[in-house]
Copies of this chain bind each other. A is one copy, B any other.
Amino acid sequence: MDAALELMDEGALTMRALASRVGLTPGALYTYFPDRAALVSAVADRLLAEADLTLLDAPGLSPHDRIESFALALREVLLRHPAAVPAILGAAFSGPTALHVGESLLRELSDPRASYTVMVYVLGAIALEAAELEGPPPPEEERIALRRTYLVVDPEAFPLTHAANDVIAAYISTDQFRWGLRRLLSAP
């Protein structure tokens, strides 16, 4: 599964490539996983578990702070493996680790609807950020600077977008991620 994650990061996860990397014949993989989709799900769940789940139960922190620190940790893990993020979205509920995260989240927020809203925001933000990464990401500042030149638009046709260029470039920043999360958590 480590090899599978590596290949995913390289954007080249095929059963054949995986087999050759672990020194097997393609067919031999089907002893361990019924099919490619099962392999991908397993990798997704393992990746989800790489974020420090204990942050969600950290003593001495407010519920909001626990959620924030876990969300930041999860984002960091997942953005290092952007190609795996779509699989995470797919397994958002089903996997065993996802269940554990869900239970902890329910403990922090009294209304289950609020906890789902947080999940939606966190996974949505990560998914949008991951979508524009090919491999492991360059430093944040670099990505923002790139977006600043990248996202130039016609000022006549899109005046507000043009005026907000700097903020839009920073949509993928940790600050923006935290800002949105806090806004959501601070809702009445």
Contact = CB atoms under 8 A, between A and B. Distances in A.
A22 interface: no
A146 to B, nearest CB: 13
Q: How many copies does the complex hold?
A: 2
Nearest to A181: B117
Majority secondary structure of chain A interface residues (helix, strand, loop or mixed) = helix
Interface in A40-61: none
Contact of A121 (B86, B92, B120, B158): B120
A112 B168 contact: yes
A183 B103 CA distance: 22
A184 interface: yes
Interface string A51-92: 000000000000000000000000000000000001001101
Interface in A139-171: 151, 153, 158-161, 164, 167-168, 171
A180 B127 contact: no
Contacts of A90: 131
Interface residues of A, number: 44
A153 B106 CA distance: 14
16 contacts: A89-B131, A99-B158, A102-B158, A106-B161, A112-B168, A116-B176, A116-B180, A117-B121, A117-B180, A121-B121, A121-B184, A124-B125, A183-B187, A184-B187, A186-B187, A187-B188
Which 10 A-B residue pairs are closest in the complex by CB-CB distance? A124-B124, A106-B160, A117-B180, A112-B164, A112-B167, A120-B124, A187-B187, A183-B187, A90-B131, A103-B158
